Amino acid sequence: MNTKRLRDRIQRVLQDQDCDVVLDGSRPWDPRIRRERLFSRVLRGGSLGLGDAYVDGDWECDRLDELFHRLLRANVDHRFRSLPLLVEAVRARLLNPQRPSRAGEVGRRHYDAGNDLFEAMLGNPRVYSCAYWRRASSLEEAQDAKLAIVGEKLDLKPGMRVLDFGCGWGDTARFVAEHYQCEVVGVTISAAQAREARQRCRGLPVDIRLQDYRDVTGRFDRILSLGMFEHVGPRNHRHFMRRVRDLLPPDGLAIVQTIGTLRTGSAPDPWIAHRIFPNSKLPSAVQIARAAEGLLIAEDWHNLGPDYDTTLLHWHENLERAWPELAGRYDERFHRTWRYYLLSCAGSFRARRNQLWQIVFSPEGTRRHYRSVR
Query: Which residues carry out catalysis?
Result: 345
Distances, alpha carbon 54 to alpha carbons 130, 221, 248, 328, in Å: 26, 47, 46, 21
Distances, alpha carbon 176 to alpha carbons 36, 123, 168, 225, in Å: 53, 18, 14, 13
Compute the distance between CA of residue 131 and CA of residue 257 in angstroms, rounded to an integer: 11
Distances, alpha carbon 173 to alpha carbons 123, 170, 208, 301, 359, in Å: 16, 5, 9, 23, 19
Compute the distance between CA of residue 284 and CA of residue 275 in angstroms, rounded to an integer: 22
Compute the distance between CA of residue 320 and CA of residue 309 in angstroms, rounded to an integer: 17
Which residues lie across from 255 on neighbouring strands?
A: 224, 360
Compute the distance between CA of residue 64 and CA of residue 31 in angstroms, rounded to an integer: 8
The secondary structure of 179-193 as a DSSP string is HH--EEEEEES-HHH
Compute the distance between CA of residue 177 and CA of residue 173 in angstroms, rounded to an integer: 6
Beta-sheet strands, E only, within 137-247: 161-165, 183-188, 206-210, 222-226
